[in-house]
Amino acid sequence: MKGCAEAHGRGPMGALPLSYLGDDVLRQVAEPVKAISSEVRKTIESMFATCAAEQGIGLAAPQVGLAKRIIVIDLSEHDLDPFCLVNPVLKRRSGPPMTDEEGCLSLPGVFLEVTRPRDILVEGRDEKGRLLRFEASDLLARCIQHEIDHLDGKVFTDHVTDGTRRDEELKALDARLVDLRAARQAAMLAGGR
């Protein structure tokens, strides 16, 4: 499925419908953004709106049906200004492996422990095309790694080592997604698309 923002109905404040595990776009390797056009900036705005509406702390473009290399991070509850990264690249992963619980808007209700390196060095562009390059640790590093995974067709449960627990959670998710997909479909129809 080739996603595009215009193919989706827009919700309140420009929020977009979410992709859920099982949607092809979540397993695709996303395309680099060639130029940060006004359309790309509009996408970024919609991604922030979606992240806020869904009370997420991060969102990758494939999660709103777009196979583009864009992520947004909103850790404003942790006193960090929201920011986006276009074409983000992890230049370094380091530090001790840290284990913490993760969740994902595309796998609603699934929370499992994931081990990731504590520290990263990341590079990308902001919405104005300016180069950003910074080190991050702990929660911020975890969020960025989680979101960049989405750009490579990966989801956090791919990293879960307790296969039994993961399979149980994913089975329960499948049942929940039946209703969620129906609700999404209804919302998109109501949006006149």
Helix (H) or strand (E) holding 43: helix 38-53
Residue type, 181: R
Please calculate the CA angle 75-80-86 and round it to the nearest 5 degrees.
75
Beta carbon of residue 130, minimum distance to Zn ion (angstroms, whole number): 25
Residue 57 binds Zn ion, judged by CB under 5 A: no
Residue 96 or 110: the one with the smaller Cβ distance to Zn ion is: 110
Per-residue buried b or exposed e for 3-16, using 16+ beta carbons within 10 Å of the residue's own CB: bebeebebbeebbb
Q: Find the binding residues for Zn ion in span 76-105 (CB under 5 A).
A: 104
Residue with tokens 């590093």: 141
- Is 169 annotated as catalytic? no
Beta strands in the chain (DSSP E): 58-60, 70-73, 83-102, 112-125, 131-137
Q: Find the binding residues for Zn ion in span 102-121 (CB under 5 A).
A: 104
Beta carbon of residue 174, minimum distance to Zn ion (angstroms, whole number): 17
Beta carbon of residue 150, minimum distance to Zn ion (angstroms, whole number): 6
Of these residues, 102, 127, 147, 169, which one is catalytic? 147
CB closest to Zn ion, residue no = 104
Could you list the active site residues? 147
Residues making contact with Zn ion (CB under 5 A):
104
